[in-house]
Amino acid sequence: MKSNRRSFVKQSSLAIAGYSFTTNKESAFEAPFVHHVLFWLKDKDNKENYTKMLRFLKKFKEVKGVKFLHVGAPSISDVDYEASATDVSYTFSYLTLFDSKKDKEDYLKDPLHTQFFNDFKDVVSKVIIYDSLNISD
């Protein structure tokens, strides 16, 4: 009896996990609006500022309208021709996906975004934003 129950729980958990991953993955990449921001910290070696900013950037997944969030660091390809064209000077890459430009603009008005701007404006030396709309077929 216990092994049947365990088997059922295990199989159910795997099915649910598989479904939620597939559903999230599919919906994330259907988003028609991309907001990609590169940040340069004034002092890359300041571990406290680095850690605080990283934690804060990850909090943006709580903002209504954010379909997908990725926070990353520079990565150099092992392929020479690509490595030579890769910018690795930034500190953080921040990528969010939205259903619309309006959702992104609402996100910019969110109190969390305002707090982020105020908390980190003095530790960031440069910001570049790439916003893009999906080109439909």
Alpha carbon distances (Å) from 12 to 19, 36, 62: 11, 37, 27
On whether both 99 and 127 belong to a single domain, the answer is yes
Are residues 24 and 52 both part of a single domain? no
Domain identity same for 21 and 36: no
Same domain, 4 and 43: no
Residues 24 and 39 in one domain: no
For residue 102, the enclosing domain spans 31-133
User: Which burial class, exposed, middle or buried, applies to 34 when counting CB atoms under 10 A from its CB (0-12, 13-18, 19+)?
Assistant: middle
| Tens digits of residue pLDDT in 66-80 | 999 999 999 999 999
Q: Are residues 77 and 66 in the same domain?
A: yes
Same-domain check for residues 52 and 8: no
Residues 7 and 63 in one domain: no
Q: What is the pLDDT of residues 22-63, one digit of tens each?
A: 444 454 466 789 999 999 999 989 999 999 999 999 999 999
Q: Are residues 60 and 38 in the same domain?
A: yes
Q: How many domains does the chain have?
A: 2
